[in-house]
């Protein structure tokens, strides 16, 4: 049987706001069109860690956080290979070992991080800026890639001048220097690194002439703060009609450290993280508009890639995956960022399109996880699944989207250097179809804080039921589910 190609498309920090997932505002025609034919849309898909590097490690290793032991964005893959031994292979490396030509474009494993063993040719990265202030550490030059508008560059220089005048370093806990939190520039897509990435990936598809099947991963920074996108994507939305989520505050009793940090703060001021940033209403509307503009920017890149596959005559031979690394809290609980243990930071979009799957869009509301993608693609491409994988193939669910499936999914978080006075060491959370139970533990694994939410009656997580006597039995059952772990919930 002829092996299928794989086109794996992944963004950064995109919330669950696609038209095919029911969002009333999202303008995502390309992803919606993909979802309408030969696809399954996963309405309850979750990541394992609300941070880029750890989540991508779970996704591309097929292993969960306590196995990868990647808890930050520090360099990872070389030591992980050493830990796992010579028989271990990442998802793309496994495809490469089975005769696939594997290629990667930009933000796949995380930022400029790569794994040479995974790719048939060196990973492609967009060129980084070369005209930065000489006092900026070279390692930070790539931070300037976000902004292309002259007014943004002017703000950056003004902020650098302010830091110099105050005698402060350009690096460290002050998060160095930053441009604005959003940018609406009247430029073509290719003015940004994300557009350049699509240009290169499309060229690779057009020029592909090998007899062997390919596994191509295309990663975008779109979605990650700052929210920068060409003006045409901003123009798709009326800012006044975009709504800020109704649950404007964290549940009563939530410790301050439960919020992590508010990620956009670094673009709106130059204070360190020992101060809490509260955006104005105008800033909230601006950020919401920017996030939606970036979703449409991402959608356009997906459309260009799919069009290239179709023009090459490969659509009937190519499996297409569209997802992101983790979610993002866009104003829910008055919070902007991903560094928390709430639903929006774990709940993410996933669309899998398989040639011959069916002409009508199908959806499933069963619980699925990022570690499920590695075994799923193995099954779809008729490759043996490695024994070390810790997820479940979604192929049976694709065949019968309403079938009984795993009863819970599991995620984690540990405080980062920028958290607000973290008083816990490890947060663990379990999500069933109806409930989420979260346990915050201290250095000696003692219970520091608990959360229990009932999504049937409280989808906005406004009421923490963990100390409610009426829900004591539910909390006990959910806590036991968390302690039993993922293996007890496998399909």
| Average pLDDT for 225-237 | 98
Q: Which pair of tokens denotes residue 180? A: 């604005």
Q: Residues for the chain: how many in total?
A: 491
Judge whether 315 and 209 are in contact, CB under 8 Å: no
Q: Which helix (H) or strand (E) holds 41?
A: strand 39-42
| Average pLDDT for 102-119 | 94
d(CA 27, CA 30): 9
- Topology given in CATH for the domain delimited by 5-129+185-407: Alkaline Phosphatase, subunit A (3.40.720)
The answer to whether residue 48 scores a pLDDT higher than 80 is yes
d(CA 278, CA 336): 10
d(CA 418, CA 173): 8
pLDDT-based confidence at 252, cuts 50/70/90?
confident
The overall average pLDDT reported for the chain is 92
3 state SS of 182: strand
| Average pLDDT for 22-30 | 98
Residue whose entry in the numeric block shows the structure tokens 């930050």: 72
Q: How many CB atoms lie within 10 A of CB 274?
A: 9
pLDDT digits (tens, 9 = 90+) for 422-470: 678 999 999 999 999 999 999 999 999 999 999 999 999 999 999 999 9
The answer to whether residue 136 scores a pLDDT higher than 70 is no
The C-alpha R_g of the chain, in whole angstroms, comes to: 22
Judge whether 68 and 54 are in contact, CB under 8 Å: yes
Residue 469 neighbours by CB under 8 Å, 6+ apart: none
pTM above 0.85, yes or no: yes
Q: How is the chain split into domains, by residue range?
A: 5-129+185-407
Report the percentage of the chain scoring pLDDT > 70: 91
pLDDT-based confidence at 215, cuts 50/70/90?
very high
| Average pLDDT for 405-419 | 91
Q: Identify the pLDDT of residue 162.
A: 79
Q: Identify the pLDDT of residue 75.
A: 86
Q: What is the largest CA-CA distance in the chain?
A: 67
| Average pLDDT for 349-356 | 97
d(CA 11, CA 217): 11
């Amino acid at each position: 049987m002829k092996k299928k190609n794989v086109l794996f498309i992944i963004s950064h920090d995109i919330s669950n706001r696609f038209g095919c997932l029911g969002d009333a505002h999202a303008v995502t025609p390309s992803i919606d069109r993909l979802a309408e034919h030969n696809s399954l849309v996963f309405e309850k898909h979750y990541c394992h860690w609300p941070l880029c590097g750890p989540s991508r490690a779970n996704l591309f290793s097929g292993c969960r956080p306590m196995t990868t032991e990647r808890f930050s964005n520090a360099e990872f893959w070389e030591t992980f290979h050493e830990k796992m031994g010579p028989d271990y292979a990442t998802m793309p490396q496994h495809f490469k070992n089975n005769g696939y030509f594997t290629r990667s474009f930009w933000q796949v494993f995380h930022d400029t991080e790569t794994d040479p063993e995974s790719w048939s040719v060196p990973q492609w990265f967009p060129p980084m800026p070369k005209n930065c202030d000489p006092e900026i550490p070279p390692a930070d030059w790539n931070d300037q890639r976000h902004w292309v508008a002259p007014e943004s560059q002017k703000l950056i220089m003004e902020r650098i001048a302010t830091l110099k005048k105050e005698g402060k370093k350009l690096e460290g806990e002050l998060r160095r220097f930053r441009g604005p939190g959003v940018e609406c520039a009247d430029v073509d897509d290719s003015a940004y690194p994300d557009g350049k990435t699509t240009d290169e990936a499309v060229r690779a598809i057009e020029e592909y002439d090998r007899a062997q099947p390919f596994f191509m991963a295309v990663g975008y920074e779109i979605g990650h703060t700052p929210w920068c996108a060409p003006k045409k994507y901003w123009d798709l939305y009326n800012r006044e009609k975009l709504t800020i989520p109704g649950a404007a505050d964290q549940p009563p009793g939530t410790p301050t450290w439960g919020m992590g940090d508010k990620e956009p703060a670094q673009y709106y001021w130059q204070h360190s993280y020992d101060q809490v940033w509260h955006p104005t209403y105008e800033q909230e509307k601006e950020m919401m508009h920017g996030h939606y503009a970036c979703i449409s920017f991402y959608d356009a890149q997906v459309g260009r890639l799919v069009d290239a596959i179709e023009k090459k005559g490969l659509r009937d031979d190519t499996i297409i995956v569209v997802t992101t690394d983790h979610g993002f809290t866009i104003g829910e609980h008055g919070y902007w960022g991903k560094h928390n243990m709430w639903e929006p930071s774990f709940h993410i979009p996933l669309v899998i399109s398989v040639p011959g799957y069916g002409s009508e869009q199908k959806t499933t509301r069963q619980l699925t996880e990022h570690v499920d993608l590695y075994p799923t693609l193995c099954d779809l491409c008729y490759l043996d699944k490695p024994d070390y994988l810790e997820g479940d193939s979604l192929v049976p669910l694709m065949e019968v989207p309403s079938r009984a499936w795993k009863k819970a999914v599991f995620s984690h978080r540990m405080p980062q250097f920028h958290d607000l006075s973290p008083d816990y060491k490890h947060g663990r959370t379990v999500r069933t179809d109806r409930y989420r139970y979260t346990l915050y533990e201290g250095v000696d694994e003692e219970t520091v804080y608990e959360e229990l939410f009932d999504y049937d009656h409280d989808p906005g997580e406004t009421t923490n039921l963990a100390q409610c006597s009426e829900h004591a039995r539910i909390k006990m059952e959910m806590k036991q589910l968390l302690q039993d772990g993922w293996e007890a919930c496998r399909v």
